[in-house]
């Protein structure tokens, strides 16, 4: 059986890897993603999908200020912000991230947003179905730098 590496533990049981938050047979993470989604069920689904594909994922579903603080302190490789139900919060959060040096260059993916939101703050946009492919482009770009 292949060895499974989790965040801080080595596990040889694929079932335990799910408990520890990593996918079986991924020996290396693709990067760190931070999801800001207002629909908790959708957030958990996307977190699971991205985790199954090698991403370390943190999420926030309730508070854009808490998301801002956590993004600033964790410095993820990519930030995904859903604006379907709350475009004002998207603009506020993305604008705040762009306004400080520590997060200015951090890629922001706007999920389910209007054309206006796309043009102002987002480096890319996606639907929830295409999010894995979209953030994987940023992972590949980081490897090429």
| pLDDT for residue 143 | 52
Q: Residues 54-106: pLDDT tens digits?
A: 999 999 999 989 999 999 999 999 999 988 767 778 888 999 999 999 999 99
Higher-confidence residue of 111 and 17: namely 111
**Mean model confidence pLDDT for the chain:** 79
Cα(96)–Cα(140) distance, rounded to whole angstroms? 26
| pLDDT for residue 3 | 41
pLDDT higher than threshold 50 for residue 108: yes
Residue 22 lies in a domain: no
Where do the DSSP E strands lie in 61-98?
78-82
Residue 122 lies in a domain: yes
User: How many structural domains does the chain have?
Assistant: 1
| pLDDT for residue 84 | 76
Domain span holding position 137: 28-144
Residue 122 binned pLDDT confidence (cut-offs 50, 70, 90): confident
pLDDT higher than threshold 50 for residue 138: yes
| Cα–Cα separations (whole angstroms), residue 3 to 25, 30, 112 | 7, 17, 37
Residue 13 lies in a domain: no
Residue 70 lies in a domain: yes
Q: Give the 3-state secondary structure of residue 17.
A: helix
Residues in the chain: 145
pLDDT higher than threshold 60 for residue 16: no
Question: Domain containing 126 — which CATH number?
Answer: 3.40.50.2300
């Amino acid at each position: 059986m292949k060895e499974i590496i989790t965040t801080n533990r080595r596990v040889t049981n694929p079932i335990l890897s799910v408990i520890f938050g990593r996918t079986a047979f991924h020996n290396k993470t693709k990067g760190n993603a931070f999801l800001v989604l207002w629909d908790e069920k959708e957030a958990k689904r996307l977190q699971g999908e991205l985790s199954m594909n090698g991403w370390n994922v943190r999420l926030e579903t309730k508070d854009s200020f808490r998301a801002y603080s956590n993004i600033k302190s964790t410095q993820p490789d990519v930030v995904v912000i859903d604006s379907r139900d709350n475009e004002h919060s998207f603009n506020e959060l993305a604008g705040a991230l762009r306004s400080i040096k520590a997060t200015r260059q951090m890629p922001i993916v706007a999920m389910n947003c209007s054309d206006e939101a796309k043009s102002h703050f987002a480096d890319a946009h996606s639907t929830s179905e295409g999010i894995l492919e979209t953030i994987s482009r940023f992972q590949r770009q980081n490897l090429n730098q």
